[in-house]
Chains A and B, each alone.
Chain A
C-alpha cells in the first residue's frame, strides 16, 4: 500500500478497473507506467480521501459492484437507478441546468449553488449518455468491438487507434510502417479539426462572430481533408486491428494553405481586445489542482503541466508540447491554437513520409492481454483488452474527459453564472466518453 501511495503522490492514475479477484490500478510516474493489484475479493480500500484523482474511478468501481471501504461520499456516476443526493448548501440559491441544454450539445445535469450571480459551487451529474458500451463489447470479435470503441467518445480516430493497438499487443502483432504513418496523420487531422471547433465555439460564446466564422470556415474545409484521407467525415472505418483499411489522398497543398492561413489568423484573433477582455483570468485551474486531480491533455498543459504522450512516441522525434501557465480560458485557447498548427504540420509530415508497403497485417484470432494509450485532442485515451479464443473477454476504456470533468467544477467556482458556457466550452469535454 505504501508503494501505491508513493506512486500516486508523484504520479497520476491512468486507469483503475476490476481485474481478476480485485482491481488493477495503473499510475503514470516519471513518464512510465506502474501497475498495482489492489483488494481482496470484491473489497477494496478507498484512497479517494487522500488522492482525489481516484474519486471518480472509485465511484465507477463501486457502481460495478465492488466494495470501497472508507470512501468519503459514494455516489453513482453513470447508473441512474441508484439513489443520488445532490449536495445541499443552506441559504444558497440552486440553479439546475440540463440534461437538455439550450444549444446543440450532449446531455448532462449541472447544479449551481449561487449567491447572487456568483457561483459558489457546481455539482455535475452525468450518465445520461450511458449506453453500456463496455458490456456489449464482451463476446465480440476485435473488429466488431472496434466499431464500438470508435463510438466511445467524440474522437473516433484516437479511440480506434488505442483500441486497435491494445488488440495488436494482445495478439503480438504490429501494424506495418505505412499504416503507422497514416494512422498518425488521421490522428493529427482529428486533433486540428477538434481544436478549431473548440476555438470557433469559444468565439461564438463571447459573441465574436468574425473569429467564429473564419475559424469555422477553415475547420469545415479541413473536415473535407479528413474525409478524403479516411472516407468518413470524422475518420471512422479507417483504423483496423493490424493497420488501416484504406489509403485516401488528402490534398497536401490545401493542408499547407490552411496552416498558413491559421498561422496568420489565430494569433491576431487571440489578441483581439474583446477576446482578451472575456477570456483572460476567467475560469482558472491552477497547476497544483491540475496535478492533484490528475487532469490530462490541453486542460493540464494550459495549467503548466508539461505532459503529452507524443513525447514518448518514436514517430514524433524531439516533440515539444504546447504549454501555458495561466490556467484560464485564454491559456486553453492558446494551447488549442498552437496545437492545431502543430497538428497540421505533423499531418503533412506523416503523409509525406509514409513508406511503401502493405496497409495492414492480417490478425489471426488468438488470446492475450494488451493495453495502449494515445494522446487524443482532449488528452489521454486508454484502452485495455483481454481476448480469449479470439473474443473480447474484458474491455476497459478511459476517455480523457473522464479525468477532466472536475476541472470544470473548479474553473467556474467564484465566476459569474453567465461565464459557465464559456468555461464549459474551453474544456470541451465529451459526455459520451465519460459515460461509457
Chain B
C-alpha cells in the first residue's frame, strides 16, 4: 500500500486530502453554533475578538471569516457558541460566502443560496499564475511559494508560477493593496492575456484585514481589479490556497456557502 502510494505521488508529497486538512494541534476556522448564542455569549464574543470579526445587527449575529485572525480565543472562551471547522476547503467565488449569519429569532444560519459556478473559460488542465504582493507582510507570499515545495508539489496538479504576466492565466494577489502598489497591480492585470482569473489570497487581500481602516490601503483587491476567488486565512495555509486554485479551474466545488461547510 505504502509502496503504491509512493509510486503514485512521490516520497514526500502528500495526497490531496492530506493537504486540505488542518493539523490536529492547530485551530481551524471558527464556526458559530446558533443554539449557543445567548445574549451573554454574543456580548462576550464581540469583546473577546481582537480583530472585530463578530458583529450583531438587527437580530442577526454574524462572523466574518475574512476578519478572523485565527487566534481561537472565541472558541476557548465560549465553546457553546463557537465551534471549529477543520478543513482547508474554504475558498469561495462570492465574498458573502465568507460571512456566517445567524438569525437569532430562528436560531439558524441564513442561506444565501447556491453560489455562482466558476467561469467556464478558466476550466484549464494546467494553470500558470503570476503573484503580486501588494502590501502583504510577506507571509501569504511565503505560503504561496511553499505550494511548490516537495510536500505540496503543486506542479502535479498542473499549477506553476511564471515570471511575466504575459504568460499568466491567473493573478494571485496578497495584501490589502497599498495605495503605492495599486497602479502596479492594475498594470500587471492589464498585461495579462484573456481569459484571466484573479485570486485574492488572505484576509488582507479580501477586505484589508487588520489594515482595513488605514488611509494608505484600498482594503481589498476587488477595489482595484475584479476577483474570481477569495481564499480566507491569516495567512491561508498552502492547502487553502491550493483549494482556491482548484476552485478557479473548476476542479472542485465550493464547499463554504454562507460561511458554513455544506
Q: Which of A126-172 contact B (CB under 8 A)?
A: 127-133, 135-136, 143-144, 147-148, 151-154, 156
Indicate if the CB atoms of A106 and B176 lie closer than 8 Å. Answer: no
A-side contacts of B134, CB under 8 Å:
107, 128
Residue contact B214 to A135, C-beta cutoff 8 Å: yes
A144 close to B50 (CB less than 8 A)? yes
- Contact at B164–A102, with CB atoms within 8 Å? yes
Q: How many chain B residues have a CB neighbour from A under 8 Å?
A: 53
- Asked if B216 and A130 make an inter-chain contact with CB atoms under 8 angstroms apart, the answer reads yes
Closest Cβ of chain B to A129, distance in Å, is 6
- B149 with A220: CB separation less than 8 A: yes
* B145 interfacial by beta-carbon distance below 8 Å: yes
The A contact surface, by secondary structure, is loop
B46 at the interface (CB under 8 A from A): no
Contact present for A154 and B72 (CB under 8 Å): no
Does chain A have a CB within 8 A of B179? Answer: yes
Is B133's CB within 8 Å of the partner chain A? Answer: yes
Given A131-B135, A131-B217: A147 touches B184 (CB 8 Å cut-off): no
Chain A residues near B50: list those with CB within 8 A. Answer: 143-144, 147
Complex: A227 Cα to B51 Cα, angstroms: 21
Whether B51 contacts A104 by the Cβ 8 Å rule is no
Q: Are A127 and B180 in contact (CB under 8 A)?
A: yes
- Across the interface, B215 reaches (CB within 8 A) one of A78, A132, A220, namely A132
CB-based contact B135/A129 at 8 Å:
yes
Count residues on chain A whose CB falls below 8 Å from chain B CBs: 49
Measured CA separation A389–B238 after assembly (Å): 41
**What's the Cα separation between A130 and B214 when bound, in Å?**
10
What separation, in Å, do the CA atoms of A131 and B138 have in the docked complex?
13
- Known contacts: A104-B131, A147-B210. The answer to whether A132 contacts B138 by CB under 8 A is no
Bound complex: CA A133 to CA B208 (Å): 12
Interface string of B135-155 (1 = CB under 8 A from A): 111110111111001110000
Q: Closest CB-CB distance, B55 to chain A, in whole Å?
A: 16
- Which residue of chain A has its CB nearest to the CB of B25? A228
A153 to B71 alpha-carbon distance, docked (Å): 19
| Given A105-B133, A136-B214: A128 and B12 interface contact (C-beta under 8 Å) | no
Q: Let me know if A99 and B181 touch, CB within 8 A.
A: yes
Question: Nearest Cβ distance between residue A344 and chain B, in whole angstroms?
Answer: 20
A231 at the interface (CB under 8 A from B): yes
* A100 in contact (CB, < 8 A): yes
- B211 located at the interface, meaning its Cβ lies under 8 Å from any Cβ of chain A in the complex: yes
Contact call B138/A106, Cβ cutoff below 8 A:
yes
Report whether B214 and A133 are in contact in the complex, using a CB–CB cutoff of 8 Å.
yes
Which chain B residues lie closer than 8 Å to A128 at the CB level? 134-135, 178, 180-181, 184
B115 to chain A, nearest CB (A): 28
Q: Are A432 and B137 in contact (CB under 8 A)?
A: yes
Q: Is the CB of A147 within 8 A of B135?
A: no
Contact A147 B69, beta carbon cutoff 8 Å: yes
Given contacts A151-B210, A236-B69, contact A80 B138 (CB under 8 A): no
- Sample of 5 more A-B contacts, CB < 8 Å, known A131-B214, A217-B12: A132-B216, A147-B210, A151-B137, A154-B137, A217-B149
Can you offer 15 A-B residue contacts whose CB atoms are under 8 A?
Answer: A100-B165, A100-B185, A104-B133, A107-B134, A129-B180, A131-B211, A136-B214, A143-B50, A148-B211, A217-B12, A232-B70, A234-B235, A430-B138, A432-B136, A432-B137
> Which 8 pairs between the two chains have the least Cβ-Cβ distance?
A132-B216, A102-B163, A237-B71, A154-B138, A132-B214, A80-B180, A104-B145, A151-B137
